[in-house]
Amino acid sequence: QAPARASRSLRRGVPAMDAAIVDAERECAKRRRISESTEIATLAVHGGDQHDPGHGAIFPPITTATSFVQENLGEHGRFCYSRCANPTRHAFETALAALEGGTFCTATASGMAATGLALELLEHGAHVIVMAGVYGGTHRLFEKVRRQSMGLKVEYLDLNHVDRVCERIRADTGMIWVETPTNPRLDLVDIPRLVAAVSRAEAARQAPVGGGRAPPKILICADNTFATAWNQQPLKLGVDIVMLSTSKYIGGHSDMTGGALVTADAAIAERLNLLKSAVGAIASPFEAYLALRGLKTLDVRMERQCANALRVAEFLEQHPGIEEVCYPGLPSSRHHQLCKRQMRTGGAVVTVRLKSGPAGDDMAAMTRFFSRLRYWVLAESLGGVESMINHSATMSHGSMTKEERAEVGIFDTTLRLSVGVEDAADLIRDLEHALAP
């Protein structure tokens, strides 16, 4: 038995008798180094557990294995089955958790898979308060899926009206869903103010009449897709869970689909760890590899894209063909002061509403506008290095009725601009040409 056991250890790269020495040396080396940085630029490159124990690869390899060899009954290592845990996904999850200021992350197959997994934390029939004007796909999941499958009672409110939010909190309220900035109008939520108000309301609410269990903890989950940790860290502002569509700025190159949930709460982490294995909506090793590769350049990409976005917003604000510009980085924005307190910049997305033409044929005007663009591309999604324009009424919010869209300020002339890393002057010149009479 002993030679076989040693042989298995050698295949993993470290003889069994030397493993303790290697571990001890690694711990000593850690103690000789400076303490871990909290700077986003450094964490994006070095955060989490990205070491390769097999060969010391500078970047974690793609481990496609479904299963992992166990020493004997009850003697498995860190990994046993890739639905539950995988080395490549682990490297990405720990890196993203460090970036967001969390202690646990689970990477999912998409942003919507992450949203769906977060809802699995709720009891059937729970009451959920949602930020008004959220992403159309989130609205669709709540309204057309989880109202039926989970009996969720969903209510949409402006979460900045904290007194109203607290009035609507009930004994069965299980979650408050925050999206800041919102998609596409870029409304912000004052996270610390909301968290403080909900905490007070939660402490005051009563158990159901006639006894029974105490009301469940109200989970506050923040969609941080548009901002990323580069602009704000909601966990450090008091929320319980951060949700991200990693397809966007984390991946950053429009070549992968993924999502993630991050938390710093041990109880929530334990529950999510169970749910992610039970539900199975996990990121594949290759998607995790692409997301981690993209994460490495998040700091430099966001710095360039957000700076470009401000210049684009300033240009559009002065253009006679624009009815409205939504960008919290502009001094004219009603969210500007909150943006300065809570975010590093106004972000890399600018949303505009074009003026309707004299004939009133908005869709024809849209077709003409898009046909004249050279560098900006008409496409779903956002967050890539290339500049993209989304026609909100037919793309991101196409699942909503025209009346529902109008209620949240989305019209046929509403455009969401995801600003890329190109030269800002070229992007502005392209828009100026497309907007010309």
Q: State which amino acid sits at residue 70.
A: Q
Can 248 be counted among the known catalytic residues? yes
Question: Do the strands 259-263 and 104-108 form a parallel or antiparallel pair, or are they unpaired?
Answer: antiparallel
**Catalytic hit among 83, 340, 355, 429:** 83
Can 158 be counted among the known catalytic residues? no
CB 238 within 8 A of CB 220: yes
CB 40 within 8 A of CB 299: yes
CB 169 within 8 A of CB 195: no
What residues pair up with 173 in beta bridges, in sequence order?
Answer: 127
**Catalytic hit among 89, 146, 185, 248:** 248
Helix (H, G, I), strand (E, B) or coil at 112: helix
The whole-angstrom separation of Cα 362 and Cα 10 is 69
Angle at CA 92, nearest 5°, toward 91 and 98? Answer: 95
Q: For 98-186, where are the E strands, in sequence order?
A: 104-108, 127-131, 153-157, 173-179
**Catalytic hit among 89, 185, 190, 223:** 223
Can 249 be counted among the known catalytic residues? no
Q: Which of 388, 385, 376, 327 is nearest to 352 (CA)?
A: 327
**Catalytic hit among 89, 135, 265, 289:** 135
Angle at CA 116, nearest 5°, toward 113 and 119? Answer: 155
Can 81 be counted among the known catalytic residues? no
Angle at CA 275, nearest 5°, toward 273 and 278? Answer: 115
Helix (H, G, I), strand (E, B) or coil at 82: coil
Classify residue 78 by its DSSP letter. S
CB 301 within 8 A of CB 231: no
The whole-angstrom separation of Cα 226 and Cα 385 is 14
Kindly list the catalytic residues: 83, 135, 223, 248
